Amino acid sequence: DVKVTQSSRYLVKRTGEKVFLECVQDMDHENMFWYRQDPGLGLRLIYFSYDVKMKEKGDIPEGYSVSREKKERFSLILESASTNQTSMYLCASSWGWREWGSYNEQFFGPGTRLTVL
Amino acid sequence: GQNIDQPTEMTATEGAIVQINCTYQTSGFNGLFWYQQHAGEAPTFLSYNVLDGLEEKGRFSSFLSRSKGYSYLLLKELQMKDSASYLCAVRDPGSGYSTLTFGKGTMLLVSP
């Protein structure tokens, strides 16, 4: 079974703090993703990584950065947390590009509910 | 860009059949996924369609029409545990990285 774990289920931080969210997968997946999920807005992609030390911006990268020093670990960093970053953060992983038509679904971690006060 | 639409909420009765629709307008297409997400939990993969037609998996089926930009998820013999949010997502090959764009999700409430 694929397992994607996230460092915390719940986190409370203060405005201006630096926040680290960590994600680990155990399936040797090439791709890893960070999303945030908000009511009425759905899942939105923040950043993704297709290889160690490689990263690409998603749809809403502003205010976030990422780090992938090892294949199994992908970190999301909020340099200076703000109240509008209060959200559910979901990490996911998948295999890299396969032939057209292959499933290659994303597997999600349990999520971290971050509250910024 | 991608635009994916699905109804916000649906209600149904235990034992019934429900169909959740998803329409999409995308610059490219390499598959459509359905995920199920219970409240407070991670999304879990339900189905994948890349060719036109119906894919069946037990009580769940998913249909795709690429020419119409349309998919549906059909849930039969509804159970209370099927109360969840159902997410439609499209994969765009243009990105080259297997990224998905998700719809906002359809909250399904199954009542006794």
Q: What is the pLDDT of residues A52-97, one digit of tens each?
A: 999 999 999 999 999 999 999 999 999 999 999 999 999 999 988 7
The answer for B 50-89 residues in CB contact with A (under 8 A) is 50-51, 87, 89
Instruction: Give the lowest-confidence range in A42-46, A63-67, B27-31.
Output: B27-31
Residue of B40, B93, B99 with shortest CB distance to A48: B99
A52 vs A67: CA distance, rounded Å = 9
Residue B31 burial by Cβ neighbours in a 10 Å radius (0-12, 13-18, 19+): buried
Q: Which residues of B51-64 are buried (b: 16+ CB within 10 A; e: fewer)?
A: eeeeeeeeebbbbb
In this prediction, residue B94 carries a pLDDT of: 65
Confidence check: pLDDT of A101 > 90: no
Instruction: Give the lowest-confidence range in A64-68, B87-91, B94-98.
Output: B94-98
Instruction: Give the lowest-confidence range in A2-6, A56-60, B87-91.
Output: A2-6
In this prediction, residue B76 carries a pLDDT of: 97
In this prediction, residue B60 carries a pLDDT of: 96
By DSSP bridging, strand B106-111 and strand B18-26 are unpaired
B78 vs A40: CA distance, rounded Å = 25
Q: CB–CB of B51 and A101 under 8 A?
A: yes
